[in-house]
Amino acid sequence: MKRFFASLRSAIAQLDQDYSGSHRTAKIDDAERVAIDSSALHCPVCFCVFASAPFILKCGHSFCQNCIKNIVENSYSEQIFECPMCRQVISSEIRFTRNYIVDALLQSVCEIAENENESSVDPNLRISFQLISGKFLEEQKKNKILQKKYEEERIRSRRYLILLVMESALYRKAWDIIRDCGFPVVPSQHWLFGSLDIMKSYSTHWQLGKLTRKYGRTYGIMQGSHPTVVTSDPKIIYEICFKQFRLFHSRIMDPSSSHPDTVYEVHEFAARGERWKRIRSLTSKAVSNENLRKLFHVMCDSVNCFVKDLEEEITDSKALELHPRFQTLTFDIISRCCMGRPYSYQHNDSNLKLLLKKFSPLQRCVPDLKWISLTYAKLCLRFRITFHLEIDPLVTYTNYLRKLISMDITSQDRSSFLYFMKCVEDDEWDDWIVDADKPYDISSMKIIPKLTTGEIINQCRFLTTAGFDTTANTVAYLIYLLASNSEKQEKLYQEIATLEITFDNVQHFNYLHYTIMETLRLFPHASLLQSRMCVQQCEIGPYTFKKDVGVIFDTWSLHYDQEIWGSDVKQFRPDRFLDYTTIQKRNWMAFGAGPRQCVGMRFAMLEIKIIICSLLKKFCFRKIENTCKIAYNKPSRMEHRTIIDLKKS
């Protein structure tokens, strides 16, 4: 019996050697006719037409490769090897041979199929081909399709496996970066996505507050595979934003966008290092006090048109939903000031519709896998083209800006942001590519007064996109708070009632300034955009910040810190800014802090003051019960319908 199984194993090895070896079967080249039993063309076990050369036992029966191997495998368990057709027991000297006649016939049939249009083919073989080719070729085609699908699935599975292994390795490496740095690390809820569900939700600020109360003012968290430090420690924030800014000049880079150092089109918010400093310095001239004075009449004109429309809409029995109206107004103002549009257009603005369509639903963050981040934009474009979907609204808006910016500079308003940027436009300049992945001392940096066309396009898009919704939200929050606190509304009205709305007068409305600051202290809705990235390992206090670690400032926890603002932090009390301490000034971060503070802060404050003054001179605000409510522990966004009743003064 041992000799039998040894011979059986030898036969299997010989079978594999014959099948995979270089031996070629003879072709039927000179035959006039081939006669063969039709049963020899298919396997008697599985009844499949032979798609490859069959194997024949000594008894004369042929089987396909899969079946003959199954027969051999079963013989191990039953300890007997016999032909499944005739039940002839195979002797101990086992050797499989290929059925060369059928093999040759199959090869000839395949050649006939490939040379179907040639007239030199033997007619007898042509007839044989016509008789057996139907099932054979159909089966062969199916096998090829299945084999192709199998190979594709195998390759795809390998890619996914490699991708998961790489992402797991990256995640492990990233986890090691923030481990043993002196601060606690929040356990990740998912090994691949980390705590993205926290960082990309509507209630991020509230969840960060819970983590702050649990882990302290500074702790680590994983954003996908990106290690991030969240801090509300005033000393740490001051070190990062001021003293060691040269190591934290970069914001956390968006994994779905191109690299800010090498991409042609970039805006100030994404740029870093020398490029950021150049774009910001050249843009700052457009929002200087001198130019804001020139733009004051443009803002007032848009606000007056807005107030006039409100007066026509208001009736004694009608309450108005103000937030979408404020979005229309603020977009009109920023569009006119940025692009130099000479007139107010607050009805059915197609560009505003594009932006609202793009940003109204908060899009979930895709996993920050590197292969996705590099091709994300192209994948989205191909997806839209393939399924005939409409173009991305942001792309349409960008094309509009590109066309507008290509116009001659003489057609631009000299006080518009675009005019200032067009004055330094140089699209042939190619020295803008600078490696910013290193420390930069911005105080000694020489600014080259040049902007590329791509930088101007993206900067205009950034200013108009970021400059309308944040301002509209602030105005809506402020009016809600004034409607909820009638005594403070009356105090503010008394301050502005007797004075004309001029650039100088607006600057001296102190209580108005305090109400805006208190509103932004309570609702720093743009604070989650405040981030930094460490470009070189450093020590800050007891903590180690390693290279490429991101830092997010938990502004909400900072603005509700009772040690800084007192025990009444949840109350709307503008008078707290009458005794504005140095610590409070340093930790009021609605617009950020340090050199990367929001470039449009003065513009936004002036715009809000004009809007509030103009509205209070005409209306008083009254909250309608059970229609709007803002909870301090809920997401930082207005309810879908925030309705305020306006009454004419």
Tens digit of each residue's pLDDT (9 = 90 or more) over 80-98: 677 777 777 765 455 555 5
> What is the C-alpha to C-alpha distance for residues 32 and 182, in angstroms, rounded to an integer?
89
Report the percentage of the chain scoring pLDDT > 70: 69
Looking at the predicted structure, is the pLDDT value of residue 376 above 50?
no
Q: How far is CA 8 from the centre of its chain?
A: 60
DSSP H helices in 428-546: 453-484, 486-496, 503-507, 510-522
* pLDDT of 361: 42
Looking at the predicted structure, is the pLDDT value of residue 55 above 90?
no
- The structure tokens listed for 412 are 């631009």
> What is the C-alpha to C-alpha distance for residues 211 and 215, in angstroms, rounded to an integer?
6
Of 198, 268, 197, the closest CA to residue 230 belongs to 198
Looking at the predicted structure, is the pLDDT value of residue 626 above 80?
no
Report the percentage of the chain scoring pLDDT > 90: 38
- The structure tokens listed for 285 are 């001239």
> What is the C-alpha to C-alpha distance for residues 224 and 367, in angstroms, rounded to an integer?
6
* pLDDT of 371: 33
pLDDT digits (tens, 9 = 90+) for 577-594: 998 899 999 999 999 999
349 against 649, higher pLDDT: 349
- Do the strands 531-533 and 550-553 form a parallel or antiparallel pair, or are they unpaired? antiparallel
| Its pTM surpasses 0.75 | no
* pLDDT of 179: 72
CA distances from 163 to 369, 371, 535 (A): 9, 9, 27
- Do the strands 550-553 and 226-231 form a parallel or antiparallel pair, or are they unpaired? parallel
3-class DSSP string for 33-87:
CCCCCHHHHECCCCCCECCCCCEECCCCCEECHHHHHHHHHHHHHHCCCECCCCC
* pLDDT of 362: 36
For residue 367, name the pLDDT band (cuts at 50, 70, 90).
very low
Indicate the range of 288-292, 497-501, 620-624 predicted with least confidence. Answer: 620-624
For residue 358, name the pLDDT band (cuts at 50, 70, 90).
confident
3-state DSSP assignment of residue 232: coil
> What average pLDDT does this structure show over 34-55?
63
What residue segments make up the domains of the chain, in order of their start? 2-147, 199-648
Highest mean pLDDT among 12-16, 57-61, 536-540, 640-644: 536-540
> What is the C-alpha to C-alpha distance for residues 475 and 480, in angstroms, rounded to an integer?
9
CA distances from 563 to 137, 211, 242, 326, 592 (A): 83, 18, 22, 35, 20
pLDDT digits (tens, 9 = 90+) for 217-268: 999 988 877 889 999 999 999 999 999 999 999 998 877 678 888 888 899 9
> What average pLDDT does this structure show over 624-639?
51
| Annotated binding-site positions | 598
Q: Say which residues have a Cβ less than 8 Å from residue 478's Cβ, sequence separation at least 6.
A: 515, 516, 519, 608, 612
From the options 2.40.30.10, 2.40.37.10, 1.10.630.10, 1.10.1740.110, give the CATH code of 199-648.
Answer: 1.10.630.10
Looking at the predicted structure, is the pLDDT value of residue 78 above 70?
no
- The structure tokens listed for 327 are 């979005």
> What is the C-alpha to C-alpha distance for residues 129 and 186, in angstroms, rounded to an integer?
71
Looking at the predicted structure, is the pLDDT value of residue 612 above 90?
yes
Of 352, 344, 237, the closest CA to residue 588 belongs to 237
> What is the C-alpha to C-alpha distance for residues 338 and 188, in angstroms, rounded to an integer?
43
Please, what sign has the CA dihedral across residues 336, 341, 344, 345? negative
* pLDDT of 504: 94
- Tell me how crowded residue 89 is: count the other CB atoms within 10 A of its CB: 10
Of 591, 566, 594, the closest CA to residue 579 belongs to 566
> What average pLDDT does this structure show over 286-291?
94
- DSSP code for 259: -
Contact by Cβ (8 Å): 302, 333: yes
> What average pLDDT does this structure show over 101-130?
52
User: Which residues pair with residue 62 across a beta bridge?
Assistant: 56
> What is the C-alpha to C-alpha distance for residues 108 and 112, in angstroms, rounded to an integer?
6
Shared fold status for 2-147 and 199-648:
no
Highest mean pLDDT among 33-37, 55-59, 420-424, 608-612: 608-612
CA distances from 168 to 99, 148, 160, 200 (A): 51, 30, 12, 21
pLDDT digits (tens, 9 = 90+) for 402-414: 998 888 776 677 8
> What is the C-alpha to C-alpha distance for residues 195 and 221, in angstroms, rounded to an integer?
7
For residue 421, name the pLDDT band (cuts at 50, 70, 90).
very high
Indicate the range of 101-110, 459-468, 614-623 predicted with least confidence. Answer: 101-110
- The structure tokens listed for 210 are 């819970």
- Sequence letter at residue 553: F
For residue 112, name the pLDDT band (cuts at 50, 70, 90).
low
C-alpha gyration radius of the chain: 37
Contact by Cβ (8 Å): 100, 26: yes
Angle at 590 between CA 584 and CA 595, to 5 degrees: 85
- Tell me how crowded residue 81 is: count the other CB atoms within 10 A of its CB: 21
* Assigned CATH for 2-147: 3.30.40.10
3-state DSSP assignment of residue 538: strand
Of 359, 554, 547, the closest CA to residue 464 belongs to 359
Of 193, 176, 246, 216, the closest CA to residue 554 belongs to 216
Angle at 46 between CA 40 and CA 50, to 5 degrees: 45
- The structure tokens listed for 296 are 């004051």
| Annotated binding-site positions for heme | 598
The torsion region of residue 367 among left (phi > 0), alpha (psi -120 to 50) and beta comes to beta
* pLDDT of 633: 43
3-state DSSP assignment of residue 485: coil
567 against 47, higher pLDDT: 567
Of 60, 64, 59, the closest CA to residue 44 belongs to 64
Looking at the predicted structure, is the pLDDT value of residue 490 above 70?
yes
pLDDT digits (tens, 9 = 90+) for 146-197: 777 777 777 777 776 776 666 666 666 666 667 778 889 888 776 666 677 7
- Sequence letter at residue 560: Y
